[in-house]
Amino acid sequence: MSIPTAVSTSADTASIRPDLRALATLVQPDSIVLDLGCGEGILLEYLSAVKNVRGRGIELHEEGVRACIRRGLSVRQGNLHEGLGDYPDQSVDYVVLSQTLHYLNNPSRVIAEMMRVGRQIIVSIPNWGYWKSRLNLLLKGHVPEGPASPDKWTSERRWQAMTIADFRRFCREQGIKIMADIYLGPKGVSPSKAAANLLATTAIFALQSSIPHRQDSDT
Amino acid sequence: MSAYALVEQVHTQHLVFAEGKPFQMSSGATLSPVTLAYQTYGALNPERSNAVLICHALSGSQQAAGTSATDPEELGWWYDCIGPGKAFDTEKYFVICSNVIGSCFGSSGPTSINPQTGRPYGLSFPVVTIADMVDAQVRLIDHLGIARLLCVGGGSMGGMQVLQWASKYPERLHSAIPIATTARHSPLQIAFNAVGREAILRDPHWRNGDYYGHNHPDAGLAVARMIGHITYLSDTSMHSKFGRRLQDRERFGYEFLKTDFQVESYLQHNGNKFPARFDANSYLYVTKAMDYFDLSHETGRLADAFRHAEEVRFLIVSFTSDWLYPSYQSKELVRALSTLGINATYVNVKSVWGHDAFLLETSTMTELIANFLNRLSRELAIAPPLAYRALAA
């Protein structure tokens, strides 16, 4: 009987998606990372390979969970709301939400929960402020599909367009400190912070609550 | 060929302990001596670190793998998942399975001879709990010279033993694979067991359990087994297995002495053949042990049961159509472990086979278990047994 396994090779690490590679630069080696909506575990596998992290994942779909197990990852099947609630306060170093925020029903609640569970959180979002997306609506009158990963408005998963400016304002209002930010444009371009909302297709933020956490947060 | 010989023909060994100091049981009673019937497959590595304990369910036995030496037709109950190249790969792991106490395949139970009277214990055998079953297994693992098991795995009542191991002896295992199981028996589960026991107790041949040497309460035990079989299936699997099809007839019989439907015939067949291999008193003892099982009993909080199990890795599996051990029970367990920050992998496998899925979804179970154990073995640098090192090199 042959048992399906996923064997990662150096080629996998080399061909990792640019936004995941960029995200990984925000993670300290040897830390504990919880990836929400971890899919097939590509990010977690990459982080264990290059940063030696101890990865945990939460994934809704059985196919994703099984792919993660084939990669030797620790993953739990469930939705983010029921999944996150069980983790103790400040129990992991990073909670990651990669290219998923725009699919969530209650994004501010999920981010608050991420802040509770993680010492730091990393959120990456597609930016509908990207100039082509703007022109698409202005000139053609079509709601722009995702700037980096297109989803039609009729697609099965509902999504909500958002921009870098929206997200920065949200952080300000919620008292969330942006510790680090990375902006990616098409073809490996990295726009400046000032021009990011117009030129970036993807933004990655490392965030920390400016409200001091319970005393165990420094341990 | 030689690799297969390791598992193809299996034989049972017996460990006798507590001949001096009696074995203390949860009920307060004691037992002396205690016999455990067990089988092993594969070989221990020199570090004695590649041992896996498999725990069986209600009607299972120590023969989890291979074919019986006495009856080549008789396959181990988890034949599909234990053996060379299988989920629990006997070329890598030393696999142990023992018959639980209270059962009737050679371990101490109501059919054993009470040394005080020279007659079978019957109901004078002390009531057994899942904790007692596991305490006895610990003696076996001690006897085999294994300090820490690589894994304890099992489904249904086997899964309860797995959880009991992780709760009470967390330092004795690296990982736990509880499948289609629960940390506390639900009223629904207790109810089905209770009706099964009633069927036995109301059989006139039961005679308060003192039926050895007379007619056995086979009718009661058969009915108990039929009820069990209903709960192991699902609405969907019954539709596809039997539908409303008739058995050996074209039209309704309009009578009661012969069966009409295929599903009736299936239940009768399984019920009627059961008493030849299982003892009615053991059915009472083992189902009672399941009903008493509740790891949250002490404090009311399930997480407290696992407070010392931080180092144990869990692979928890449930099945979408299992209505006897529904997924919510596994999720409850995952939640409790997550609140402690314990590393728990959880999959709710889509299946139509109901509770039986854990024995039937072979390719899925193989993929999950093999990859989980591979990863763990890599991390802990578990070496294969000597006989296979040359092969692996």
HEC sequence for A78-101:
CCHHHHHCCCCCCCEEEEEEECCH
How many helices, marked H, and strands, marked E, lie in chain B?
Answer: 12, 16
Alpha helices, DSSP H only, in chain B?
2-8, 130-143, 157-168, 187-201, 218-232, 235-241, 262-273, 280-292, 327-339, 357-360, 362-380, 386-392
- If you measure CA to CA, which chain A residue comes closest to B87? A3
> Do residues B380 and B150 make contact, with C-beta atoms less than 8 angstroms apart?
yes
As for the ipTM of the complex, it is 0.86
pLDDT of residue A187: 83
Q: Which of A1, A56, A72 sits opposite B371 (nearest CB)?
A: A72
Residues A3, B345: C-beta atoms closer than 8 Å: no
> Residue A60 pLDDT more than 80?
yes
Mean pLDDT, to the nearest integer, of A73-81?
A: 91
Preceding amide of B170 cis, omega within 30? no
Contact status, residue A38 vs residue A59, Cβ threshold 8 Å: yes
Q: What is the mean pLDDT of the segment spanning B81-87?
A: 96
pLDDT digits 0-9 by tens, A165-207: 999 999 999 999 999 999 999 987 899 999 999 999 999 999 9
Q: Say how far apart CA B11 and CA B275 lie, in whole Å.
A: 22
Tokens of B370: 């093999």
CA distance B50 to B48: 6
Instruction: Provide the 3-class DSSP secondary structure of residue A25.
Output: coil
For chain B, list residues whose CB is within 8 angstroms of any CB belonging to chain A.
85-87, 313, 315, 331, 334-335, 338-341, 343-350, 364, 366-368, 370-372, 374-375, 378
Q: Sign (positive/negative) of CA torsion B317, B135, B148, A1?
A: negative
- Percent of chain B whose predicted confidence (pLDDT) is above 90: 91
Residue A11: exposed, middle, or buried by beta-carbon count in 10 A (0-12, 13-18, 19+)?
exposed
Is B369:B88 a contact under the CB 8 Å cutoff?
yes
Average pLDDT over residues A113-138: 95
Tell me, what's the pLDDT at A216? Answer: 45
Cα–Cα distance measured from residue B53 to residue B49, given in angstroms and rounded to the nearest whole number: 12
Integer Cα distance of A177 and A205 in angstroms: 10
Of A142-146, B66-70, B156-160, highest mean pLDDT: B156-160
Q: Which residues of B touch A91 (CB under 8 A)?
A: 341
Contact assessment for residue A20 and residue A42, using Cβ atoms and an 8 Å cutoff:
yes
Residues of A61-77 as b/e, b for ≥16 C-beta within 10 angstroms?
A: eeebbbbbbbbbbbbbb
Contact B82, B7 (CB under 8 A): yes
Report whether A179 contacts A204 (CB < 8 A).
Answer: no
Q: Which residue among B334, B345, B370 places its CB closest to the CB of A3?
A: B370
Note whether A69 contacts B364, CB cutoff 8 Å.
Answer: no
E strands, B42-162, in order: 51-55, 67-68, 82-83, 88-89, 94-98, 113-114, 119-120, 151-155
Contact A203, A124 (CB under 8 A): yes
Chain B residue closest in CA terms to A75: B345
Residues 6+ apart with CB under 8 A from B176: B151, B152, B153, B162, B163, B165, B166, B312, B313, B314, B315
Cβ–Cβ below 8 Å for A3 and B371: yes
Copy the structure tokens of residue B41: 């497959």
Buried b (16+ CB within 10 A) or exposed e, B331-363: bebbbbbbbbebbbbbbbbebbbbbbbbbbbbe
**pLDDT over 70 (residue B68):** yes
Phi, psi of A108, deg, nearest 5: -70, -30
Q: Within chain A, what is the greatest distance between any pair of CA atoms?
A: 58
Q: Which residues of A touch B315 (CB under 8 A)?
A: 69
Q: How many CA atoms lie within 13 A of B327 on its CB side?
A: 15
- Cα diameter, chain B: 68
State whether B313 and A74 contact (CB < 8 Å). yes
Q: Residue B367 and residue A70: Cβ atoms within 8 Å?
A: yes
pLDDT tens-digit map of B345-384: 999 999 999 999 999 999 999 999 999 999 999 999 999 9
Range of lowest pLDDT (A20-29, A158-167, B71-80, B325-334): B71-80
pLDDT at B39 over 80: yes
Question: Residue B338: which of A80, A120, A108 has the closest Cα?
Answer: A80
pLDDT above 50: residue B5: no
Output the pLDDT for position B346.
97
CA nearest to A83 within chain B:
B335
What pLDDT is stored for residue A217 in this prediction?
A: 40
For residues B61-76, one letter each, b for 16 or more C-beta atoms within 10 angstroms of the residue's C-beta and e for the rest, the string is: bbbbbbbbeeeeebeb
Chain A and chain B share a number of CB contacts under 8 A equal to 70
Q: What single-letter amino acid sits at A24? A: A
A95, β-bridge pairs: A34, A121
Mean pLDDT of A105-110: 92
Residues of B marked active site are found at 156, 322, 355
Q: 3-class SS at B248?
A: coil
pTM over 0.90: yes
Cβ distance A61 to A33 under 8 Å?
no
The share of chain A scoring above pLDDT 90, in percent, equals 73
Best CA proximity match to A205, nearest among A18, A15, A19, A14: A19
Q: Of the ranges A9-23, A58-72, B176-190, B210-224, which one carries the lowest mean pLDDT score? A: A9-23
- CA–CA distance, B48 with B105 (Å, rounded to integer): 27
Q: Quick count: other Cβ atoms within 10 Å of Cβ B292?
A: 19
Mean predicted lDDT score pLDDT of chain B: 95
> What pLDDT sits at residue A2?
59
Nearest CA in chain A to B337: A86
The encoded tokens of residue B319 equal 């099945």
CA distance B229 to chain A (A): 27
Residues of chain B contacting A65 with CB distance shorter than 8 Å: 345-347
Residues of A within 8 A of B375 (CB-CB) are 72
